[in-house]
């Protein structure tokens, strides 16, 4: 089962690509990000990302202990130094690699983790929420949970925030992502600035043996104040994500309309 399920996931990913499920969205994003590549090269990356996503989803069906132990964290000294400041730690994460395993694996490492998530009303989304909760991950709504999120940091715990979803203009700010303006959540920057908690970015990269190695980057700091500081930190995090995507383009969630919201 350990080998069969991931292979089945890859097959389903390949089938989704062949059936053109959100394929036009993925290729549009790849054209924006990699205009210098040929269409054939972009299609190769796109198909590989579908296989990666299918495998990642299939891994969630394996026993939790087995999958979570397959995740190794690099840069734990960076995390421990941030935690030692006593103001909690903001984990900035993206839809990169097997991102669903990150928080669960962090809990298994002994971290107290709360994540800000969007409400998922479909059956698969409800299943994901349940699985996260069973693994010990505390979940906060992306609406109306500011007080609870700050309380997490005041307790010296970890607050996880996804930084690469398209936002409406009323809730996001525009920063550069692959040379185009992308409406981005400022939440990681805002919570860091309000609480004094350091920001660390995490990127899980699949290894040849099927395990996952998490690159930790940071802490991200700024010498600016006010809204300029929020923009600066958000841009830094987005730039770090872009660098990781350039290094591992098949690891990112290309089926998301990242540049949907456009500036005036």
Instruction: Decide if 98 is inside a domain.
Output: yes
Over its length of 264 residues, how does the chain's per-residue pLDDT go in tens digits? 667 888 999 999 999 999 999 999 999 999 999 999 999 999 999 999 999 999 999 998 888 777 778 899 999 999 999 999 999 999 999 999 999 999 999 999 999 999 998 877 788 888 888 888 888 999 998 888 999 999 999 999 999 999 999 999 999 999 999 999 999 999 999 999 999 999 999 999 999 999 999 999 999 999 999 999 999 999 999 999 999 999 999 999 999 999 999 998
Residue numbers of the domain that contains 196:
71-248
Q: How far apart are CA 80 and CA 106, in angstroms?
A: 13
Within a domain: residue 44? Answer: no
Q: Identify whether 43 is part of a domain.
A: no
Q: Is residue 140 part of a domain?
A: yes
* Structural domain count, the chain: 1
Residue 139 lies in a domain: yes
**Torsion sign, CA atoms 160, 163, 167, 169:** positive
**Burial bucket for residue 262 (CB in 10 Å: 0-12, 13-18, 19+):** exposed
Please give the distance of CA 144 from its chain centroid, rounded to a whole number. Answer: 21
Task: Please check whether residue 114 is in contact with residue 223, taking contact to mean a CB–CB distance below 8 angstroms.
Answer: no
Within a domain: 27: no
Evaluate whether residue 66 is within a structural domain. no
Residue pair 207/97 in contact (Cβ under 8 Å)? The answer is: no
42 is a domain residue: no
């Amino acid at each position: 089962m350990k080998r069969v399920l991931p292979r089945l996931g890859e097959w389903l990913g390949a089938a989704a690509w062949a059936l053109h499920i959100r394929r036009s969205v993925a290729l549009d994003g790849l054209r924006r990000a990699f205009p210098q590549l040929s269409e054939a090269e972009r299609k190769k990356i796109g198909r590989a990302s579908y296989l990666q996503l299918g495998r990642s989803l299939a891994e969630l069906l394996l026993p939790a202990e087995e999958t979570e132990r397959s995740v190794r964290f690099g840069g734990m000294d960076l995390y421990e130094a941030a935690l030692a400041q006593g103001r909690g730690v903001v984990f900035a994460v993206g839809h990169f690699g097997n991102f669903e395993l990150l928080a669960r694996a962090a809990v298994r490492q002994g971290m107290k983790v709360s994540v800000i998530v969007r409400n998922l009303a479909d059956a698969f989304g409800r299943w994901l929420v349940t699985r996260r909760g069973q693994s010990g991950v505390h979940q906060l709504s992306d609406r109306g949970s500011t007080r609870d999120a700050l309380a997490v940091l005041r307790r010296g715990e970890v607050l996880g925030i996804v930084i690469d979803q398209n936002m409406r203009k009323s809730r996001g700010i525009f920063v550069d992502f692959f040379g185009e303006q992308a409406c981005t959540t400022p939440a990681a920057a805002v919570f860091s600035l309000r609480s004094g908690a350091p920001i660390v970015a995490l990127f899980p990269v699949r290894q040849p043996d099927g395990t996952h190695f998490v690159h930790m980057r940071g802490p991200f700091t700024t010498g600016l104040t006010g809204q300029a500081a929020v923009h600066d930190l958000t841009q830094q995090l987005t730039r770090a994500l872009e660098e990781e995507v350039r290094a591992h383009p098949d690891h990112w969630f290309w089926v998301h309309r990242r540049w949907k919201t456009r500036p005036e």
